[in-house]
A and B are shown apart, each in its own frame.
Chain A
């Protein structure tokens, strides 16, 4: 008999919604063994978080336990009352949230927040708490920061905040830690550090962990066993290597196949044709919050996000910008389309100067540069039907409206492989991937020559990402549109871009053909970024290609 810490048996949970009861978790049974890391993967809506929260004895107010049990050392957590749960939570089972910025109390110093946990559960005195705190900080790698106990959360970086949240979860020496997407909001280099930390903690203290995420390559690094959720059901559970290399269930195979591989694009990408670039920006300097003031009063230079960047996008070329959050990727795209007028520098489009301010640009210039936003939930007007959304650019740019645009709108929808029945639907009646397709269709219906794609995949699930990526490739091949593709996902970029620009703190530290950047990075920052990315993708590219090859082969099979 394997020593199990927690066992879930036949767990079934329902959500009461205005539209009736929905089954979120259906008859799930699994075990968490002592000292192991159990990865729980699945797309959003697969019930993985609902399952994880139930392991803490927590249910959403509208959730109902329809059956089954969660046994933790002989007690059924699912049916425990409030005081019983308080005894358990934070003490023997603890939790690391997805977003530490909202999970930490902004009005309390981190020292007080951790002390609170210790005082409540272990009834420690001040002196004991102090020693314990120092020990915890040492463990999570924050020991060197002077006076960290007296800091408020906003004075720590995202990665440091997550370390604090982990320290808080470990404070009482729990037997089980539930981690809900603990690195999703973090940059790839920081992500790697957190994973290293979790690995070392597992080795040093033998804590069991349940790690919920949709990021498969990441789990490959840390998980001992893997549970795959699909539509509320546990479709596969088993040894991590086995699930990764020889998945049994069709969905698990599909999920693995969808992960953007850290590999070169299969077809040989043509380098941009020499000649005049489509768009050229020179010494672009962009600042936020700049004010002209009134008679010199209230004048402010603002925060300079991009101090001076020069880049060029050729015809039929896809240029990718990569870099951490805050490196100015989106800011550059916003300047190119005229949303943020640059403080200095020139933009030339088709060889002619392009005005910095959107209002000063001609209608055709606005039409030719189209922007696709990260989150289709926000970029589609919730009160407009798909047909209206697609018809707006036609009205504005071509003066076409009424019945005449119907064939064009239908064609645009068909181009992104959506059913024509969707024309009369509202965005909220579509799934995330379908919404992003509508957003792409809206951009393309204006017949642009340059598409600015700002993290267009990051709000989507992995398998959906792959399909939207395929769509982008197909549309690019057919329309010959140039792209500025902004992403933090290095795997996606490698498979799509002709050239890559690496941004670091607003400066373009390296630009070059994709393969050159990936195989022979020159700048130290690029090297670091790639190392971190390769780390999270589980298998290095150059020295040891086997696991990837197996993964690919299995995924195809």
Chain B
């Protein structure tokens, strides 16, 4: 290609628009679904017709009508209002759990990939040992180890998600690190005698960001299911929190008489997960095509 004089940087907005235009359709569908969910999570509590705990908002166990889109439960609470109230809880829990997992996992993985040697060996064998435990068993283990006083606390749910994700992220981050370590700029930092954490944070993390971002998005897409599963099994949030998984669990005995109480939260949960997955799949393709360089 012709060597051109340094072109003016395209404006941020114009670049984003171009990305949107050229993005695969899965990315756009995912982004729209995700956008709707974020909007609902933020505005939900304000646009809901009833407070989430108000009993006798309608007749108990009533099918959908104009005021009660998903009908009501045994206590006469409006299921749609509860679902709206629950949106931000699911989102905040998923994102903070995933974020914690990615943060811990990436530091472990990048540091191991940088120092290598026996530290790397030992840590990675431990990570593999943890990975061999089925994730649900691991989550239950974490919950039961925390003891009864923490039961139902959002901190515990976030920790459980992080504990499940951290080892998986660590392996990914280490693989990325093994590639980055071979670059000369890491050698230069070593020659300066920078401490390990400084090298990891300044030199490696920004360059592993593309990989980690995709990994974060993929994991965040499954976190609502994980949290829902924990809630359904009674190890996550406690009633009367309107967490979707917990609601599905609470209302499952109404399935024959008032299926909308289960379908409603189920619909929300599945569209959120589908949206997140489309979005991340598209995102990785967008990033793969034009690796994020420089300004990010």
A429 touching B294 by the CB < 8 A rule? yes
| Residue of A whose beta carbon sits closest to that of B289 | A18
Which A residues are in CB contact (< 8 Å) with B274?
none
List residues of B (80-108) whose CB comes within 8 Å of A's CBs.
none
A381 touching B293 by the CB < 8 A rule? no
Interface presence of B209 (CB below 8 A): yes
Q: CB-CB contacts of B186-214 with A at 8 A, as 1s and 0s?
A: 01111111100000001100110100000
Interface presence of B1 (CB below 8 A): yes
B293 touching A339 by the CB < 8 A rule? no
Stretch at the interface among B3-11, B221-229, B259-267: B3-11
From B1, B189, B294, contact of A383 by CB (8 A):
B294
What's the Cα separation between A294 and B189 when bound, in Å? 29
Q: Quick one: given A381-B185, A383-B206, are A46 and B3 in contact (CB under 8 Å)?
A: yes
| Residue of A whose beta carbon sits closest to that of B9 | A429
B1 touching A428 by the CB < 8 A rule? no
**B185, B187, B203, B206 pick with most chain A CB within 10 angstroms:** B185
Q: CB-CB contacts of A369-382 with B at 8 A, as 1s and 0s?
A: 01101010011111
Interface presence of B18 (CB below 8 A): yes
Interface presence of A45 (CB below 8 A): yes
B203 touching A381 by the CB < 8 A rule? yes
From B184, B293, B295, contact of A373 by CB (8 A):
B184
B2 touching A47 by the CB < 8 A rule? yes
Query: A-B pairs with CB below 8 Å: how many?
Result: 93
Which A residues are in CB contact (< 8 Å) with B190?
339, 358
Which B residues are in CB contact (< 8 Å) with A359?
193
List residues of A (442-486) whose CB comes within 8 Å of B's CBs.
442, 446
What's the Cα separation between A392 and B206 when bound, in Å? 15
Interface presence of B132 (CB below 8 A): no
| Residue of A whose beta carbon sits closest to that of B184 | A379
Interface presence of A289 (CB below 8 A): no
What's the Cα separation between A356 and B189 when bound, in Å? 18
A428 touching B193 by the CB < 8 A rule? no
What's the Cα separation between A189 and B132 when bound, in Å? 55
Which A residues are in CB contact (< 8 Å) with B290?
18
B191 touching A384 by the CB < 8 A rule? no
Interface presence of A328 (CB below 8 A): no
| Residue of A whose beta carbon sits closest to that of B205 | A383
Which A residues are in CB contact (< 8 Å) with B6?
425, 429-430
Interface presence of A19 (CB below 8 A): yes
Which A residues are in CB contact (< 8 Å) with B209?
383
Q: Quick one: given A378-B185, A379-B184, are A232 and B2 in contact (CB under 8 Å)?
A: yes
From B7, B193, B293, contact of A382 by CB (8 A):
B293
| Residue of A whose beta carbon sits closest to that of B18 | A18
A392 touching B187 by the CB < 8 A rule? no
Q: Quick one: given A18-B18, A381-B185, are A363 and B193 in contact (CB under 8 Å)?
A: yes
Interface presence of B12 (CB below 8 A): no
What's the Cα separation between A396 and B190 when bound, in Å? 11
From B3, B193, B295, contact of A431 by CB (8 A):
B3
A426 touching B185 by the CB < 8 A rule? no
What's the Cα separation between A267 and B223 when bound, in Å? 70
A366 touching B192 by the CB < 8 A rule? yes
Which A residues are in CB contact (< 8 Å) with B296?
383
Q: CB-CB contacts of B223-262 with A at 8 A, as 1s and 0s?
A: 0000000000000000000000000000000000000000
Interface presence of B183 (CB below 8 A): yes
List residues of A (303-337) whose CB comes within 8 Å of B's CBs.
337
- 17 residue pairs of the A-B complex, CB under 8 angstroms, read A17-B1, A22-B1, A45-B1, A45-B3, A231-B3, A363-B193, A373-B188, A378-B184, A378-B185, A379-B187, A381-B202, A382-B293, A383-B209, A383-B293, A392-B202, A429-B6, A442-B188
Excluding A338-B191, A371-B191, 19 further A-B contacts by CB distance (< 8 Å) are A18-B18, A24-B1, A44-B3, A45-B1, A358-B193, A363-B193, A375-B184, A378-B183, A378-B185, A379-B184, A379-B185, A381-B202, A382-B207, A383-B296, A396-B194, A397-B192, A426-B294, A428-B294, A429-B294
Binding site for A on B (CB under 8 A): 1-4, 6-7, 10, 18, 183-185, 187-194, 202-203, 206-207, 209, 290, 293-296
Closest A-B pairs by Cβ, 9 of them? A426-B294, A383-B206, A379-B184, A45-B3, A378-B184, A381-B185, A373-B184, A396-B192, A232-B2
